[in-house]
Amino acid sequence: MRLAFTKMEAAGNDYIYVDGIERHLPDADWPALARNLSRRRHSVGADGIILILPSESADFRMRLFNADGSEGDMCGNGVRCVGAYVWERGLIGVDSFSVETPDGPVTVRVQPEDGELSVDALMTPPRFLRGEIPMTGQPEESGLAAELEVGGRSVPVDALRLGNPHCVLFVRDVYAVDVATLGPLLESHPAFPERTNVEFVEVADRDALRVRVWERGSGITAACGTGASAAAVCAILRGRVTSPVRVEMPGGDLRVEWDEAQRLHLCGIVREVYRGSLEIPGELLMTGDFETGGGRGR
pLDDT (0 to 100) of residue 295: 39
Q: Which amino acid is at 293?
A: G
Q: Are residues 74 and 42 in the same domain?
A: yes
**Quick check: is 198 in a domain?**
yes
- Identify the residue with better confidence: 173 or 284: 173
The fraction of the chain above a pLDDT of 90, given in percent, is 87
Q: Are residues 42 and 78 in the same domain?
A: yes
* Catalytic-residue membership of 224: yes
pLDDT (0 to 100) of residue 16: 98
Looking at residue 36, the DSSP 8-state letter turns out to be: H
| Nearest alpha-carbon partner for 120 in 141, 91, 95, 102 | 95
Distance CA 248, CA 175 (A): 12
pLDDT in tens, 24-39: 888 889 999 999 999 9
**pTM, entire model:** 0.93
Q: Are residues 182 and 98 in the same domain?
A: no
Q: Are residues 118 and 6 in the same domain?
A: yes
Q: Are residues 161 and 195 in the same domain?
A: yes
Q: Is 115 left (phi over 0), alpha (psi -120 to 50) or beta?
A: left
* Catalytic-residue membership of 234: no
Q: Are 76 and 225 in contact (CB under 8 A)?
A: yes
Q: Are residues 185 and 81 in the same domain?
A: no
- pLDDT at residue 114 greater than cutoff 80: yes
pLDDT in tens, 187-246: 999 999 999 999 999 999 999 999 999 999 999 999 999 999 999 999 999 999 999 999
pLDDT (0 to 100) of residue 260: 85
Q: Give the DSSP H or E segment for 187.
A: helix 179-187
Q: Which of 81, 224, 234, 267 is catalytic?
A: 224
**Quick check: is 201 in a domain?**
yes
pLDDT (0 to 100) of residue 224: 97
Parent domain of 106: 2-122+271-291
**Quick check: is 298 in a domain?**
no
Cα distance between the two ends of the chain: 31
**Quick check: is 84 in a domain?**
yes
Give the residue-averaged pLDDT of 49-66: 97
Q: Are residues 276 and 230 in the same domain?
A: no
Output the CA–CA distances (angstroms, integers) from residue 223 to 33, 210, 212, in the order listed.
22, 11, 7
- pLDDT at residue 68 greater than cutoff 60: yes
Q: Are residues 7 and 118 in the same domain?
A: yes
Q: Are residues 92 and 23 in the same domain?
A: yes
What CATH number is given to the structural domain containing 244?
Answer: 3.10.310.10
Q: Which of 75, 81, 167, 234 is catalytic?
A: 75
**Quick check: is 135 in a domain?**
no
pLDDT in tens, 83-94: 999 999 999 999
**Quick check: is 252 in a domain?**
yes
The tally of domains found in the chain comes to 2
Looking at residue 175, the DSSP 8-state letter turns out to be: G
Q: Are residues 78 and 177 in the same domain?
A: no
Distance CA 61, CA 102 (A): 9
Output the CA–CA distances (angstroms, integers) from residue 213 to 19, 140, 262, 278, in the order listed.
28, 27, 24, 30
pLDDT (0 to 100) of residue 289: 43
Q: Are residues 214 and 107 in the same domain?
A: no
pLDDT (0 to 100) of residue 196: 98
Distance CA 215, CA 229 (A): 14
Q: Locate all alpha helices (DSSP H) within 10-167, ordered by sequence.
A: 30-37, 76-88
Q: Give the DSSP H or E segment for 226.
A: helix 225-237
pLDDT (0 to 100) of residue 286: 62
**Quick check: is 179 in a domain?**
yes
Q: Are residues 205 and 285 in the same domain?
A: no
| Nearest alpha-carbon partner for 12 in 220, 201, 210 | 220
Output the CA–CA distances (angstroms, integers) from residue 124 to 6, 42, 226, 263, 298, in the order listed.
26, 35, 10, 8, 22
Q: What mean pLDDT, rounded, does the chain reach?
A: 93
- β pairing state of 96-101 and 60-66: parallel
Question: 284 in helix, strand or coil?
Answer: helix
**Quick check: is 141 in a domain?**
no
pLDDT in tens, 278-298: 988 777 776 444 443 433 333
